[in-house]
A and B are shown apart, each in its own frame.
Chain A
C-alpha cells in the first residue's frame, strides 16, 4: 500500500490550483477573434412576441449580429428536448412542448431568451440589446402549479390542456385503500417542498467556436456531462454532427444538478459562431442565473400514512403536483416520478404504497434535478409522516422508526426498488448515542430556563444512487443508458493517465480516482493523472450526478484496471521468464510464486513498451485498457441525521445547536472528502429548511431574483457538525461503494423541520422556516411569549 489508496484521507490534489487561483474555468478561456453574446430575455412571464425590431441595435457600435428565433428556424436548428419519457396513467405520452433555443412567437417565463446580440465587447452587446425593440402583448400568467391545472387558467402550450404534462402513478391503489380502511391510526399531512435556486458559485458559461476550414465545432461549456451535451446538441438539436463537435467542460465551479441540462445559451453560442464566423462567448450574470438556470424541487403534496395497533406502517399514499416550469428541461420528467415515488418506502417495511404525480407547466423557469433530485422530496414526505405519526400516537419517534425498519436484505419495496444491503438500526443507534438522545429532556429544560424552546428531530433517510442500471432505466422511459466508461493508459515510466466519463465540479475526482489506481497498482497518487471533461479525450461517458461517479465510474475504472493487471502479468511473465500463471501482483510488485524473483511496476510498464522481451506476434506491445461498466442495481446509501434546535419564541429565530449525521455510504475512498460532501449537503438541506425559497408573484415575476431577497445558508446557520459513518458494503459493485454526494441535502430538511415542530408544538410549518414563519406559527399555537 502506498498510503494513498482506498480509505486514506489524503488532501485533494486539485486544491492547489483552486486555492491559488490557477483554476481554468470557461470564463478564463478566450479565443482569438472572440465576440460576446448578450441575451435579451422576456420581462414578461407570458407574452406574445408580436415583432422584434433590431434595426437600431444592429447599427450600434461594435455590433456583429442580432439573432432571433426567426433565424434559428431558418437555419433549422432543432428544439431542446426532455430525454426521459413518462406515460400517464391512461397510457398517453407526456406532453412535451416545443422548446426552441430562442423563443419564437411566445415568451413563457420571465428570463426566456428572445434574441441575442453578438458584439465586439460585452458592454457593446449590452448597449445594443437595450435598443432591440420587442413588441410584446402580455398574456395572463400562472406561476402556481395547482392554479395552473384549474379550468380557466392561462394555457401555456397548446399540446398540454390544463397545463398538465402527465398524470402518472405508481403502486397498487386498491391494496393501499384496503390498508387505510383497516388502519388503527392515519397520519395526514399537506406538504410544500419549496422551490430552490441552485446557485453554483460559477455561473453558467459557453464559448462556441466554429472552424469553417475543418467544418468542426468546439464548445467550452460549464457542463456536468459533456458527452450527453454533445449527443443532444448533435442528434436532437442538429446543431453539428457528433463527430465534428467537441465539448470541453474545463474546471466547473459547482453544479448541484443545474449544469446537467442542455440549455438554450450553449446551442446559441455554437450556432452564432457559425453564423458570424467567429468564436462567441457567453457568461451568465448572477441575475441571469436566477432567471435561467433550472430550479429545483417545487412539489405540493398531500400524503397519508396508515399504522396498525402496534404502530407498524401498513400503507402510504401520496398525491403530488410537481411544477416543471415553462418547458420540460432535459431530465425534468424523471425527477418527480422515478427518482421520487420509488423512494417512498424510506427505510421502512411498508407493504403497500401508492403515489400519483401530476406534472404541470407554469410560467416559471424550468425545474429539473437539484442535489438529491426527487429523493429529498420523498424523504421529506416519509420522514415527516413517520415523525408526526409517532407524535400523534404518543410513541417515541426513534422507537417507531426502529419498529418499522427493514431488517432483511435484499428487500423488495412495493415501489420498484430492491434494496440490496443496509443496517438502519446501526446508524440510528450510533447517531442516538453521539447525539446523547436520551438526555434530551434535560437539555430541553435548560433551554427553557433561558426562555428558549428546544426541539429534536430525526431523519432516517434512504436514497437510490449509483445512477443507474441501463436496462432498468430504459424500461422506465430513460432515453440513454447510464453506464460509465474508463480508460487506463500506463506510460513507459509507470505513471498512469486515467480517462473517465464522469466529471468533477467540486467532488475531488482527481484525488479519489487516483486513490483507486494507487491502491490497485501500488503507485502514489502523484503518479496518476485523471482526465475528464473533454469529448476529444474521453471517448464517451455519462457525466456526474446522482452520486454515480464512485459507484459507477470507479467500477468502470476497476474493470479497466483488471485488464491492465492481466496484460501486465503477461509482460511480467516474459520479463521474469516464468509461466504467466505463476505471476503474482501485490503492492506494486510482480513476483514469481515460490521464488524471490520479482519485477517492479515500472520495469513491467517499460517492458510493455520497449517490447524487447516478447514477440509482438504473441503479445501486443503497450499497456492501455478501457472498460464500460453497467451497474446491475442502484446503490442505497442511508443513514440517520439528528438535528437539535433552539427556537427564540420572541423573534421566531431558529438556531441549530447540534447536528449528528451517521451515514452508511458503503466503502469510503477518502473519508475527508466524504465528510466535506456531507457538510455541504447538510448546509444545502439546512438552506432549504431555514432560508431558501424561490418566490414568484401572481404575475409570474421572480420576487427572489437576487441575493438581496434569496437567502443562502451561511456558516452561522450551522453548528459544528458531528459526522460519522457505519458500513455495509454495496454488494453490486466491485469496490462496495454506495455514494455520498447528495445524502446531506436529502436528510437535512426533514431533520430540521422535525426538530422545529417538536420545539414549537405545531406541525403546521412551511419551509423555509424563517424567523417570520416560525413566529407566525407560534402566534397560532397561542403559546405564551417568553419574558
Chain B
C-alpha cells in the first residue's frame, strides 16, 4: 500500500466537496475491492474518503411495493434482513452468495454497483429488477447506469446514496460460480412484475451486465422454463478465458435462465 491521506467526512456533501477538490481521491465504502488493489499497489490514491461516519447512508426500508437500500448497507445486512427476506427473498439470497462472511460483513451494495465488476452479483439484481440508483446529484435508471466493464455513468464527484428496487412478483437468481474467485462465471437474474419481464446476465458479457431481450420476449408469452427451451444467445461478445470459453458462457446463460425461471415459479431447478 502507498501512503495516503485519510478523510472521514460526516455528510455526503462534505464527501462530495472533498472529491471535487481532490481529483485523484477515492471513496472508501467496505473496501473489499479498493483495499486489495491498494495492497497489491495496483491503485495508490493519495486521498481516501471514508464514508463510514456519514449518517443515513445505510439501512433498509420498505414502502409499498418498493424497497430502498442505503448505499453503505453491507451484503450481510441485506442477506439477514427480515424485511428483505420477506419483501424480496431473491435479494437476500443473492447478497448471501457474495464472497465469504468477512467480505459480506464489510462489502456494500453501493460499492458493488459503483465498481460494476463484470462478474459481480448486484449489477444483475439492479438490471434484473429495474432498480433506480440514487446519487447525491440525480436518480439513474439501472438500464442507463451500467456502461461496460468497471464503468458506469457516475461522474467524478458523484456518490451513490441509495438504491430503490421495485418489488417483483416472481424473481430468482442463478449463480454459476467461478471455482477460483467464487464470483459469477455466469449469473442470470429473472423477474416478473406485472407485464414487465427482465432477464439480466452478469459474468458472461465482455461488456459487463446486460439484458437478454430475446429471452424476455419469449417469457412474456409464458413465464415458464419451457418458453426458453432450446434458446441460446450468440457467443459473440461473451468473455473467454481460462475459466470458460465464450461458447460455454453463452450456453450457460440459457441453462441458468431456464433454471432461474423454474425457481421463480417455485419449481425445483433441475
A residues apposed to B, CB below 8 Å: 123, 126-127, 287, 450-451, 650-653, 690-691, 695, 703-704, 707-712, 770-772, 775-776, 786-787
Contact = CB atoms under 8 A, between A and B. Distances in A.
Interface stretch (B122-130, B159-167, B194-202, B245-253): B245-253
Given A651-B176, A709-B242, A775 B251 contact: yes
B242 A704 contact: yes
Given A450-B270, A651-B255, A711 B242 contact: no
A695 B242 CA distance: 8
Contact of B181 (A651, A708, A786): A708
Given A287-B40, A776-B245, A770 B179 contact: yes
A253 B230 CA distance: 50
A691 B180 contact: yes
Contacts of A652: 248
Contact of A772 (B1, B180, B245): B245
B190 to A, nearest CB: 17
A787 B262 CA distance: 12
A709 B181 contact: yes
A123 B1 contact: yes
Interface residues of B, number: 19
B33 to A, nearest CB: 12
B180 A707 contact: yes
Contacts of B181: 707-709
Contact of A776 (B1, B3, B179, B248): B248
A696 B127 CA distance: 36
B45 interface: no
Given A287-B40, A711-B179, 12 more contacts: A123-B1, A127-B2, A451-B270, A650-B255, A691-B180, A704-B180, A708-B181, A771-B176, A771-B179, A771-B244, A775-B251, A787-B270
A703 B242 contact: yes
28 contacts: A123-B1, A123-B3, A126-B41, A450-B270, A650-B270, A651-B176, A651-B255, A652-B248, A653-B176, A691-B179, A691-B180, A695-B242, A703-B242, A704-B180, A707-B180, A708-B180, A708-B181, A709-B180, A709-B242, A710-B180, A711-B178, A770-B179, A771-B176, A771-B179, A772-B243, A772-B248, A775-B251, A786-B270
A770 B255 CA distance: 17
Q: Which 4 pairs, one residue from A and one from B, show the smallest C-beta to C-beta distance?
A: A711-B180, A711-B179, A772-B244, A708-B181
Contacts of B40: 287
A651 B270 contact: no
A287 B42 CA distance: 13
Given A709-B180, A770-B179, A775 B248 contact: yes
Contacts of A287: 40
Nearest to B254: A650
Give the most central of A450, A770, A787: most B CB within 10 Å: A770
Contacts of A771: 176, 179, 244
Nearest to B244: A772
A708 B242 CA distance: 12
A123 B243 CA distance: 34
A703 B181 CA distance: 14
Nearest to B41: A126
A271 B141 CA distance: 62
A395 B1 CA distance: 61
Interface string B142-168: 000000000000000000000000000
Contacts of B270: 450-451, 650, 786-787
Contacts of B252: 651
